[in-house]
Structure formats: C-alpha cells, structure tokens
Amino acid sequence: AQKVTQAQTEISVVEKEDVTLDCVYETRDTTYYLFWYKQPPSGELVFLIRRNSFDEQNEISGRYSWNFQKSTSSFNFTITASQVVDSAVYFCALVLSGGYQKVTFGIGTKLQVIP
Amino acid sequence: EAEVAQSPRYKITEKSQAVAFWCDPISGHATLYWYRQILGQGPELLVQFQDESVVDDSQLPKDRFSAERLKGVDSTLKIQPAELGDSAMYLCASSLYPTSGSGSYNEQFFGPGTRLTVL
C-alpha cells in the first residue's frame, strides 16, 4: 500500500522568507505520479505540480520550486520570498499508474506567512 | 473555464437527519470521485465512479452513506442518518478516463466542496 508523509503540520514564516515543505512517500510500484496541491481557506484544492517517477528533474515556476529525489523518496516544495497570499494548507499526493489511479494524500502542511 | 460544481457549499444539520450533496463534473469527464476531508487531515476517497458504475467504494461507510451517478453525469452523495463524526468537507472531483500503462495520468479537477456541520 502507498503512503504519503508530511511531517510538518504547521509552519510559520515572516513574509519574504524562503520556506520548504517536506514530503516523503512510500510505494513499491516503479511507475507513479506525485503532486502538490494548495488549499486556501476557501476550501478548493488547487493543482500546483505533477511529476512522474521517471522524471527526476527539478522544476521551478516563479517563486515555487520542487525537488524530487527517488533515492530518498522525497518530493519537497520550496517557496522563495514568501507572501501573505501563500498562506494555505499544502498537500502532497501520490497516484499509482494504471488501474483506477486512486490518489493518496498526505495530511497537509499549514503554512502561515506573517506580514 | 470548465469547473466542477458542488452544492450546497455549506450545510448544517442535526444528528440523525438525512443530508444530500450534489456534484456536477466537468463535461466529458467519465470519472467522478467523492472525498471526505476531516479538519486537519488530507482528503480521503469515499467512492469513485467510472461512468455510472462504482469502481471503488472500499472506504464508504455503507450503513449510512450512499452514492449514485445514474446517468453517468452528475452525482449525489447521501448520508442517512448523519452523525456528529460526519462533520467534514466533502469534495467532488472529476477526470477523463484513467488510462493504464506507464506515462499516463488524467488529472483530477476538484470542486469547491460542501462543508457539513452536524450538531
């Protein structure tokens, strides 16, 4: 069975600081997808990024960057120069390829950016 | 821009009452998911439909929860009777047909959710 662990339940940073959200996953499958979602107070899950298990290239999108390391089964998310609008709960998720592609979510990390 | 619609957005009910939530997926999406998200936790899949058929309801408390998607389009999730522990956010998501094999995945799009409070 697959599992996603987000060890940080809550993080507070001061605006403009960099912050890294950790995600560690477990699966015996060799083909899978990893995701990050943002859930603002309004409740809707907003897709941020998808990464498949064959692509270990790190990715940068504006102030967001992701570090995928299969050797440590980690898919960490960094926000550079954090802003108050980044305050939300962030979820890491895992989907196995094939079948009906059930999504396994971590418990989420609540990020508070203080002005 | 196509979106997943859910109603109501908020529902307050008393214990032992019946409640129902509605979801309208993105047009053309054959797969529909209902998730429950308890405060402080990640979403947990309750039921997954492929067209009108249930393909996964292993986490659905079938003694009180039911879900249907009669015409393979919109869906209703019902709880009867509601219990205090059912207070949560209920999220609906939809996607195109999942495709098997490596290198393929169809992203799930989430609706705004229904926040249920059971008193």
In chain B, the residue whose alpha carbon lies closest to the alpha carbon of A43 is B112
pLDDT score for B72: 85
∠ CA A1-A36-B66, nearest 5°, is 60
A100 and B102 within 8 Å at the Cβ level: the answer is no
Nearest CA among A97, A59, A44 for reference residue B90: A44
Mean of pLDDT values over B44-54 = 93
For residues B84 and B66, what is the distance between their CA atoms, to the nearest angstrom?
A: 17
| Tens of pLDDT, residues A22-34 | 999 999 988 899 9
pLDDT score for B98: 65
Residue with tokens 């047909």: B97
In chain A, the residue whose alpha carbon lies closest to the alpha carbon of B47 is A102
| Tens of pLDDT, residues A51-106 | 888 888 888 889 999 999 999 999 999 999 999 999 999 999 998 876 667 789 99
Nearest CA among B116, B114, B117, B110 for reference residue B33: B110
Going by the DSSP 8-state scheme, the letter that residue A70 receives in this structure is G
A108 and B42 within 8 Å at the Cβ level: the answer is yes
Omega prior to B112 cis, within 30 of 0: no
Give the tokens for residue B18.
């019946």
For residues A114 and B69, what is the distance between their CA atoms, to the nearest angstrom?
A: 44
Give the pLDDT band (50/70/90) at residue A11. very high
A102 and B112 within 8 Å at the Cβ level: the answer is no
Chain B positions touching A107 (Cβ under 8 A) are: 40-42
Chain B positions touching A52 (Cβ under 8 A) are: 103, 105
Among the partner residues B43, B44, B105, nearest to A101 by beta-carbon distance: B105
| Cross-strand bridge partners of residue A46 | A38
